[in-house]
Structure 1
Amino acid sequence: MVPAAAAPSPFPTVPLRPVEVPADEAEERCRAFHQVMSQRRTVRDFDPAPLPEGVVEWAVRTAATAPSGANVQPWRFVVLTDPDRKRRLREAAEAEEREFYGRRASEEWLTALAPLGTDAHKPFLETAPAVIVVFEVHKGPNSPRPYYTKESVGIAVGLLVAALHQAGLATLTHTPSPMRFLNEICERPAEERAAYVVPVGYPAPGARVPDIHRKPLDEVMVRL
């Protein structure tokens, strides 16, 4: 039975131009992408060397291709390279982190974090040549109400991290809490709420990372 044709949309549409991949190449493309991404690690020791021209801009363009609820695109990417702003960011973030590690975090949480070697000391917020602060954009004088805001911004940050990794750069997704101090440092209005702080740069020479491993496929995927 042939399905009935959908009623024409009252809103403009354009033809879909999908990426065409031969079926016999699809798995290999997924495998190649996995091989690159499986080498991605969160880095806390950065080289202060400057970033290649244009890389951050293209990575943000890629992040902004993410799907979003009602296509509101509720994100703002603030790129900090000014040393004074990065210093202020570090000072404010470390103050919040001292509260977290000293008072707010449960023993269970601290035990889970122990193998990663994290603490309230965040020098990477200054040493990384760029820090991208990602804001959720909520309803305000110049912005509409967003839908599925956290989900939308989370997908965009995933694309951002993947794009930067493809360019040979290291990242870290830092989430100090609360983060209202970032509105002042980044000169953003009240309807924008900081969600992620992403230092970007090359790993420092001799940088080391925790010896951790990913769960195997049969622990993360269920086929029904």
Structure 2
Amino acid sequence: MDALLNGSKLLGHWPSILGGLIIGLIIKYFTFLRTKKLRSSKKLPVDGKEQIQGLSNKSSTEYKKNYWKPALAEKPFVPFVPGNDLNPNGARHFYELVRGRRSIRTFNALKKPPISTIENCIRAAGTAPSGAHTEPWTFCVVEDPSIKSAVREIVEHEEYINYTKRMHAQWVADLRPLQTNAVKKYITDAPYLIIILKQTHGTTDDGRKKQHYYNEISTSIATGILLCALQAAGLCSLVTTPLNCGTALRRLLNRPDNEKLLILLAVGYAVKNCEVPDLVRKPLDDIMIKY
């Protein structure tokens, strides 16, 4: 062992190693102090009039409670009005309705549903639950042909790169049976595009940043309700998540930085003799476990 230690090349550099360790510990210590100070300032802000150390009539807990006012307005509680009693047939009818929904890629460009139908579907989506009732979603309905063409140009540019460079070969192979590629003709053919944005945060009436909890999950739930509403209205849709297009689409639509692209939804009617893959969904026993 002594021979090994004496012959080690590392021992010849022990001053540099020791100095590096000391410098690292010093940096870590000052980083710890800075982080602690930042956390303290965020958890317990000082308003300039009253230092927390000098609180005379308040405890620190009471101070926090008074500062962290809810971003939402205080709401009174009202009696809950339940819906109809349990209707097993209603659940079955709903299943029969939504089981027929399929994503299509060939839209009838000449047949356009009334905008009031789209508005009612989005009203339904707006009933979705959300974290702390922040409703962190924006539904941009695009029917202007020039804007749809601009959307298509953005998406096709990025999708070409995705298919040729970014996406794994297995991913491209898995999409082949669905006959998808970088050409997105449905974007300009569909009468409507609904570009769904999640809001990472909002702003309170007094100008403070309002945290939006579970914004992606909440917006995804709202999108699910929207898909069901569109199906109930007799409309067809296609759910897409165009990779690397979020910033360009947000700028095209002149949306703020706190809104991020989640889904691009094409909506309208299918062309005559439209075909879809003959897919089979998993049986109930594969998706539900009873305890």
Question: Normalised by the size of structure 2, how large is the TM-score?
Answer: 0.70
CA–CA distance in structure 1, aligned partners of residues 216 and 203 of structure 2: 20
TM-superposition CA deviations, 1:58-114 (whole Å, max 9, x none): 000000000001110000000000000000000100111111111111122122212
CA–CA distance in structure 2, aligned partners of residues 206 and 156 of structure 1: 31
User: Identity, % of aligned pairs?
Assistant: 36
Q: Deviation of residue 51 (structure 1)? A: 1.0
Tell me, yes or no, if the aligned pair for 1:138 and 1:144 is still in contact at 8 Å: no
Q: Deviation of residue 53 (structure 1)? A: 4.2
The one-letter amino acid of 1:114's match is R
Which one of the candidate residues 228, 233, 237 is aligned to 1:171? 237
- Alignment partner, residue 100 of structure 2: 39
- Alignment partner, residue 78 of structure 2: 14
Tell me, yes or no, if the aligned pair for 1:70 and 1:147 is still in contact at 8 Å: yes
The one-letter amino acid of 1:195's match is L
- Alignment partner, residue 140 of structure 2: 78
- Alignment partner, residue 114 of structure 2: 52
Matched, 1:29 2:95: no
Aligned-residue CA RMSD in angstroms?
1.4
Which one of the candidate residues 164, 168, 179 is aligned to 1:102? 164
CA–CA distance in structure 2, aligned partners of residues 133 and 120 of structure 1: 19
- Alignment partner, residue 253 of structure 2: 186
- Alignment partner, residue 210 of structure 1: 277
- Alignment partner, residue 146 of structure 1: 212
TM-superposition CA deviations, 1:163-200 (whole Å, max 9, x none): 01100000011111112111122120111111110011
Question: Normalised by the size of structure 1, how large is the TM-score?
Answer: 0.91
Deviates more, 1:114-123 or 1:161-170: 114-123
The one-letter amino acid of 1:67's match is P
Gaps of 5+ in 1: 1-9
Point out 4+ residue stretches in structure 1 off by more than 4 angstroms.
Answer: 140-143
- SS of corresponding position for 1:156: helix
Q: Deviation of residue 140 (structure 1)? A: 4.9
The one-letter amino acid of 1:202's match is Y
- SS of corresponding position for 1:180: helix
- Alignment partner, residue 4 of structure 1: none
CA–CA distance in structure 1, aligned partners of residues 173 and 231 of structure 2: 29
TM-superposition CA deviations, 1:141-182 (whole Å, max 9, x none): 566210011110000000011101100000011111112111
- SS of corresponding position for 1:144: strand
- SS of corresponding position for 1:194: strand
- Alignment partner, residue 153 of structure 2: 91
Q: Deviation of residue 35 (structure 1)? A: 0.6
TM-superposition CA deviations, 1:1-42 (whole Å, max 9, x none): xxxxxxxxx851111111122x4xx22111111011110000
Residue 207 to residue 217, structure 1, CA distance change in 2 (3 Å): same
| Structure 1 or 2: more helix by fraction | 2
The one-letter amino acid of 1:211's match is D
Structure with the greater alpha carbon radius of gyration: 2
Q: Which has the higher contact order (CA 8 A, sep 6+)?
A: 1
CA–CA distance in structure 1, aligned partners of residues 179 and 97 of structure 2: 25
- SS of corresponding position for 2:210: coil
Tell me, yes or no, if the aligned pair for 2:202 and 2:212 is still in contact at 8 Å: no
Tell me, yes or no, if the aligned pair for 1:76 and 1:135 is still in contact at 8 Å: yes
